[in-house]
């Protein structure tokens, strides 16, 4: 008998393809995105946050009295700009609990970046040569690292600066077309008091200062600062917490390459002055922020009055389900469609309250948003993820056990049993759940509860391969209680292993 004809073989091949799920044939979209994300993670030389091109606003916060101002700055900016930009809080000498309290008012994801001298080795080396140890870096910490995202537009602000509006040049900056900009003070201040030993490098008719530096994609400024420090080194015994040399180096290095941000746009509201300083032009209605100067060491009456009058955004109540919005997995941290919806966070936290002081397993840590909320209601949480997106740092001090391993491998190896298991994984194809589902059930205590995010993800056209959860639910014993809440997307399955 001869070989089948070409048309017959083609029909047989097509019939075979129809029996193979799209996930197996091409790889589910989630699987492809996971591979791409893993590639980015592996190729990144620093933080995952630093990759990409989105605009970012960053603040520096040290161990001063201005916690509430920085908290308000984050609340205001995240409400004002939303997801149009990304946000970063750099800190020094701030513990995890204190940092989380400052970040709690943010309504958008924020990267928390605790600083060390390794974030800017060249600058740390120049300071170290004078005998200035990291504990005395002081003002210099603002430039650690030089850029938190080199390939995107970036604003670098003091922690006592609150943005209240859009500057006229915002769109140019956000699109990467703007020139570098630097805040300026008024001429009534003597140069020697502002710039330390470097006051001679600043023109007499200008008063640039380092409160807010705006730079574009790929723009470096550190080489200019280092050149000044190499030409005129800091004196031995330099103390960055006290000496004003940092201000002089920044002003001398950046004055010629930056466009001034005048006081009438970003006025000074200094703690020791009775009036807000709008500069010689006065308040002409073009302000888009306030610098609450000296709040690091003094209570600031301007800030208190503006908060009392409702002129600044009051941070919202810190309920467990919303005080960790800064840990959301959107923007620069993850792939669209992977973030746990805030409403589902609230639902899960409410359902989990009955499991206080009991063993809870979370599969899919991400940055730790749900993990932290569960820990705050006294659940004993073990959380598992293949990669650490900052969760080990973000969850520090909350009593959470963070495990970096594939979920299926963890479930096969663990001997522990859990009263509540919460699943928020990126891949939810039938092939994945055919193996994953039985492993999860084997780790659930008798009469335990299982909560599964992405239960209806497959209903969305772009995620049509992700139908593993409904198929898994159909295999459960009929006596088990199950409920699927389709809204908000991508849905939540609630399973109680009743007997």
Report phi then psi at 343, rounded to 5. Answer: -65, -40
Q: Please determine, for residue 44, whether its predicted confidence score (pLDDT) is greater than 70.
A: no
What CATH number is associated with residue 158? 3.90.550
pLDDT in tens, 366-375: 999 999 999 9
- The alpha helices in 414-494, defined as continuous H runs, are 430-442, 468-474
Residue 61's DSSP bridge partners are: 91
Q: Is residue 481 part of a domain?
A: yes
Which tens digit of pLDDT belongs to each residue from 443-470?
999 999 999 999 998 998 888 899 999 9
Q: How far is CA 160 from the centre of its chain?
A: 19
182 and 63 share a domain?
yes
Weakest mean pLDDT among 22-26, 31-35, 436-440: 22-26
- Residues 299, 351, single domain; the answer is no
Per-residue pLDDT, 336: 44
Same domain, 343 and 304: no
Same domain, 258 and 357: no
Mean pLDDT of 233-248: 96
Q: Are strands 444-453 and 492-496 parallel, antiparallel or unpaired?
A: antiparallel
- CATH number, domain at 352? 3.40.50.150
| Co-location of 73 and 221 in the same domain | yes
- Is the confidence at residue 22, as pLDDT, over 60? no
Looking at the domain assignment, is residue 146 inside a domain?
Answer: yes
pLDDT of residue 30: 77
Model confidence over 263-313: pLDDT tens digits? 999 999 999 999 999 999 999 999 999 999 999 999 999 999 999 999 998
Clarify whether residues 302 and 192 are in a common domain. Answer: yes
Q: State yes or no: pLDDT of 488 exceeds 60.
A: yes
On whether both 254 and 354 belong to a single domain, the answer is no
Last residue of a domain, one of 285, 308, 331: 308
**Whether 212 and 97 share a structural domain:** yes
Give pLDDT, residue 489.
87
Same domain (yes/no): 152, 273 = yes
Residue 115 has pLDDT above 50, yes or no: yes
Query: Residue 24: its pLDDT value, please?
Result: 45
Which residues is 181 bridged to in the sheet? Answer: 214, 259
* Helix 301-308 × helix 67-81 angle, to 10°: 50
Q: Does one domain contain both 364 and 453?
A: yes
298 located within any domain: yes
Q: What is the pTM of this model?
A: 0.90
Q: Is residue 218 part of a domain?
A: yes
Phi then psi dihedrals of residue 192, to 5 deg: -65, -25
Alpha-carbon span 473 to 493, nearest angstrom: 9
Stated as kind and residue range, the H or E segment containing 370 is helix 369-376
Q: Are residues 286 and 432 in the same domain?
A: no
**DSSP per-residue letters across 1-59:** -PPPPHHHHHHHHHHHHHHS-HHHHH--HHHHHHHHHHHHHHH-SS-GGGSS---EEEE
Predicted confidence (pLDDT) at residue 442 exceeds the cutoff of 90? yes
Any domain includes 184 = yes
Q: Does position 317 have pLDDT exceeding 70, yes or no?
A: no
pLDDT of the residue at 6: 47
How many domains would you assign to the chain?
A: 2
pLDDT the model gives residue 480 = 96
d(CA 189, CA 421): 61
Do the Cβ atoms of 196 and 243 come closer than 8 Å? yes
pLDDT at 19 over 70: no
Pick the range with the lowest mean pLDDT from 5-9, 161-165, 377-381: 5-9
Tell me the average pLDDT across 190-198.
91
Q: Is residue 479 assigned to a domain?
A: yes
Is 348 in the same domain as 291? no
Residue 182 lies in a domain: yes
- Average pLDDT, whole number, for the chain? 90
| Residue located via tokens 């941290």 | 333
The pLDDT tens digits of the residues spanning 65-97 come to 999 999 999 999 999 999 999 999 999 999 999
Is residue 25 domain-resident? Answer: no
147: containing domain: 52-308
């Amino acid at each position: 008998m001869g070989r089948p004809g070409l048309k017959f073989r083609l029909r047989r091949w097509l019939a075979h393809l129809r029996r193979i799920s799209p996930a197996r044939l091409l790889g589910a979209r989630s699987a492809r995105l996971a591979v791409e994300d893993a590639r980015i993670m592996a190729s990144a030389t620093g933080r995952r946050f630093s990759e990409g091109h989105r605009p970012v606003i960053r603040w520096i916060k040290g161990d001063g009295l201005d916690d509430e101002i920085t908290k308000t700055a984050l609340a205001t900016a995240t409400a004002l700009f939303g997801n149009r930009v990304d946000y970063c809080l750099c800190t020094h000498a701030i513990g995890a609990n204190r940092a989380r309290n400052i970040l709690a008012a943010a309504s958008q994801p924020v990267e928390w970046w605790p600083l060390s001298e390794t974030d800017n080795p060249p600058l740390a080396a120049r300071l170290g040569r004078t005998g200035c140890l990291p504990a005395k870096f002081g003002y210099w910490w603002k430039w650690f690292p030089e850029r938190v995202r080199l390939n995107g537009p970036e604003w670098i602000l003091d922690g006592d600066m609150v943005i209240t509006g859009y500057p006229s040049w915002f769109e140019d900056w956000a699109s990467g077309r703007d020139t570098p900009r630097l805040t300026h003070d008024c001429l009534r201040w003597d140069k020697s008091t502002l710039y330390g030993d470097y006051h001679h490098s600043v023109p007499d008719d200008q008063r640039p200062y380092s409160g807010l530096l705006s730079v574009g994609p790929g723009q470096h400024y550190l080489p200019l600062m280092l050149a000044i420090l190499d030409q005129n080194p800091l004196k031995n015994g330099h103390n960055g917490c006290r000496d004003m040399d940092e201000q002089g180096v920044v002003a001398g290095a950046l004055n010629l390459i930056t466009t001034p941000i005048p006081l009438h746009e970003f006025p000074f509201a200094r703690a020791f002055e009775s009036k807000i300083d709008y500069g010689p032009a006065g308040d002409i209605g073009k302000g888009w922020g306030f610098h609450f100067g000296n709040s690091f060491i003094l209570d600031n009456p301007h800030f208190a009055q503006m908060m009392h009058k409702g002129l600044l955004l009051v941070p919202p109540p810190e309920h467990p389900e919303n005080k960790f919005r800064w840990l959301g997995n959107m923007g620069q941290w993850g792939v669209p469609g992977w973030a746990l919806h805030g409403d589902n966070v609230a639902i899960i936290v409410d359902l989990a309250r009955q499991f206080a002081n009991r063993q809870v397993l979370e599969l899919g840590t991400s940055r730790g948003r749900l993990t932290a909320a569960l820990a705050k209601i006294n659940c004993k949480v073990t959380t598992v993820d293949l990669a650490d997106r900052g969760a080990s740092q973000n969850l520090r001090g909350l009593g959470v056990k963070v495990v970096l391993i594939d979920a299926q491998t963890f479930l096969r190896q663990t001997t522990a049993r859990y009263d509540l298991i919460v699943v928020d994984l990126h891949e939810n194809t039938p092939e994945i759940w055919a193996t994953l589902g039985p492993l999860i059930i084997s780790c659930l205590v008798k009469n335990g509860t299982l909560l599964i995010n992405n239960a209806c993800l497959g209903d969305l056209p772009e995620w049509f391969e992700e139908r593993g959860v409904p198929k898994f639910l159909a295999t459960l014993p009929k006596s088990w209680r199950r409920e699927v809440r389709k809204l908000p997307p991508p849905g939540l399955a609630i399973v109680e292993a009743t007997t």
